Structure 1
Amino acid sequence: MGKDSKAKDAGGKGKGKAKQAASGADESASKGKGKSGKAASDGLGTCTYVKARHILCEKQGKINEAYKKLQDGWLSNGDKVPPAEFAKLAAEYSECPSGKKGGDLGWFPRGKMAGPFQDVAFSTLIGATSAPFKSTHGYHIILCEGRKN
């Protein structure tokens, strides 16, 4: 099962960037962008650190419920979810200790997070929200807040 199927398995029916962000765009980012300048235009590049918030749920139904609230509030209109609103949902739904801090994971480097979580975190555009996806810890939604080298 590849990254694409993991994001879709969680039942995410997001539109546009949110769905695209979880689709494994990291594959092209990890190959480098050369002199084409594309890294600057797509916001992904080969950054070393990402700042993110997340919602973690053990059950797929619960993460889908949280994602539906994001869809109804912002994603269905093509809007970006404001970090403060994402934080409220994380506090309500997340079963991770970070939920008490609005899902804030702060800045973390490549290699710190496990497989699918890292792949999605580093391939989600700044300001975008991923579709639900599964990792060894449960089901997640990620909001990417920043990137740096």
Structure 2
Amino acid sequence: MGKDSKAKESAKGKSKQSGGGSAAEAPSKGKSKGGGGSGKDELGTCTYVKARHVLCEKQGRINDAYKKLQDGWINNGDKVPPAEFAKVAAEFSECPSGKKGGDLGWFPRGKMAGPFQEVAFSTPVGSTSAPFKSTHGYHFILVEGRKN
């Protein structure tokens, strides 16, 4: 559960979770279906993730959205309720899913590209990732569920 404290630190600057170009390569390193992974909470071995996200073109806007969650929930050590995350997504997200509270539903490993998949499949259930960059812009994710 130390993810939230890391998220606070990385939200102040460039996200450390995106890891530059290496994050896009990470899913191929033993994290495929049946791969080793970390074992904890089946982070490295689950097949499906249910998530919400906020997507913004500009880093400043994603940081503003994340700060809104941080001030209300994350800094207090609380997990962000999906309904609260949905309000922020509806207000800030530039993705069509923003109208649905950022809900991406269940998606399988391999559907999302590079850093997005890496963050979605490595964030613990109930936790919110720090902002990170992908080919589509800047995101942060709330992981709501995980299954095989």
TM-score, length of structure 1 as denominator length: 0.77
Distance across 2 between alignment mates of 1:29 and 1:128: 23
Aligned length: 132
Q: Assess if the C-alpha contact under 8 Å between 1:44 and 1:122 holds in 2.
A: yes
Distance across 1 between alignment mates of 2:91 and 2:144: 20
Q: Is the partner of 1:62 in helix, strand or coil?
A: helix
Distance across 2 between alignment mates of 1:64 and 1:47: 29
Structure 1: 4+ residue segments shifted above 6 A: 19-29
Q: Assess if the C-alpha contact under 8 Å between 1:22 and 1:131 holds in 2.
A: no
CA distance 1:27–1:147, change in 2 (3 Å): same
Distance across 2 between alignment mates of 1:135 and 1:27: 17
| Match in the other structure for 1:143 | 142
Per the TM alignment, residue 45 of structure 1 is displaced from its structure 2 partner at its CA by: 4.0
| Match in the other structure for 2:60 | 61
**Gap runs ≥5 in structure 2:** 1-5
**Gap runs ≥5 in structure 1:** 1-6, 14-18
| Match in the other structure for 2:120 | 121
Match status 1:80 vs 2:79: yes
Aligned AA (2:137): G
Q: Is the partner of 1:65 in helix, strand or coil?
A: helix
1:62-88 superposed Cα distances (whole Å, 9 cap, x missing partner): 000001011101111111000000000
Q: Is the partner of 1:100 in helix, strand or coil?
A: helix
TM-score, length of structure 2 as denominator length: 0.78
1:95-131 superposed Cα distances (whole Å, 9 cap, x missing partner): 0000000000000001101100000000000000000
Per the TM alignment, residue 44 of structure 1 is displaced from its structure 2 partner at its CA by: 1.5
